[in-house]
Structure 1
């Protein structure tokens, strides 16, 4: 079963995010009070624990949720294999996949801290179609 492991937030872009108990996701914005929120196509970032484990296997320790600046850390779903346009029910929200990975223009704080980054290859971005609450343990379902 695909599920949410952690909700993560930061007040500035390009830095790791800190876990929070409950995330309030706003329609056409993203995570309330998060630096990446706004009326654009990359409102929410998601990264699978499975991707994080790949970096851990390279000998990097202390990779807590949010370390790659993802808003939602997931488990049990290969996010990067989802086609653009896929709709996901995550907690109370409905989100649509808008982008797989991203170009890493400059080596951000995350790259310098961790030594590599899986976000550009395996992280995904979504737009919030229906707002609501998301918390750790919530199911992630693909809407057919």
Structure 2
């Protein structure tokens, strides 16, 4: 079987003991229903921290089931779909190797890879692992944020069809390293027209400061 969505996950805002807001919707749960997807994400999926999550460039978060399984081995317990706060748990998709601007047709939607997940205190608290932010960063498999190019519906079992692949080589993995451990890679983000606006501005500031 080719690439497909193994699970569609949504969450509601709930009180949490971590972070400054003390509330989060990171606890995503699988749904068997087909879900409507609009410019700002999945119907029924709430966002607590609008400063750092959500918006057009972070409308949908995808994480590979294969990467969840690798983490399960390291952590020593099974990680369920949605446990990393992802909306789409994919199977057969090289999420880390996806290029910025790559487009995926899923159901009647078209989604575009444009950003990456940066680990935070809420994520660390939810996973409940020591040195989690550092470990997640060192592993370098952050998952991808997707913007919605065409609204529609999607559901568990839908194929993930890659319809457009840009010619540049700026991948999700490269972007993550540029924003975390290898700032010298920041200029490369400017090679990807579809890169999220926040990251593009960081790259432009880096280039300007280096002149």
User: In 2, distance between residues paired with 1:81 and 1:139?
Assistant: 18
Structure with the largest fraction of strand:
1
Gaps of 5+ in 2: 14-23, 48-52, 165-211
What's the RMSD between the two structures over aligned residues? 2.4
Per-residue CA deviations over 1:28-64 (Å, capped at 9, x if unaligned) read 1110121248542100000011100111121422311
4+ residue stretches of structure 1 with deviation over 4 A? 113-120
Deviation at 1:130, TM superposition (A): 1.2
> Which among 22, 25, 28 is matched to residue 33 of structure 2?
22
Residues matched between the structures, number: 143
Instruction: Give the match for residue 104 of structure 1.
Output: 119
TM superposition score normalised by structure 2: 0.60
Deviation at 1:23, TM superposition (A): 4.0
Change (3 A) 1:9 1:113: farther
Q: Secondary structure at the match of 2:115?
A: strand
Q: Secondary structure at the match of 2:105?
A: strand
Is 2:76 the counterpart of 1:52? no
Rg larger in structure: 2
User: In 2, distance between residues paired with 1:134 and 1:45?
Assistant: 14
User: In 1, distance between residues paired with 2:44 and 2:34?
Assistant: 10
Change (3 A) 1:92 1:114: farther
TM superposition score normalised by structure 1: 0.86
> Which among 11, 31, 38 is matched to residue 42 of structure 2?
31
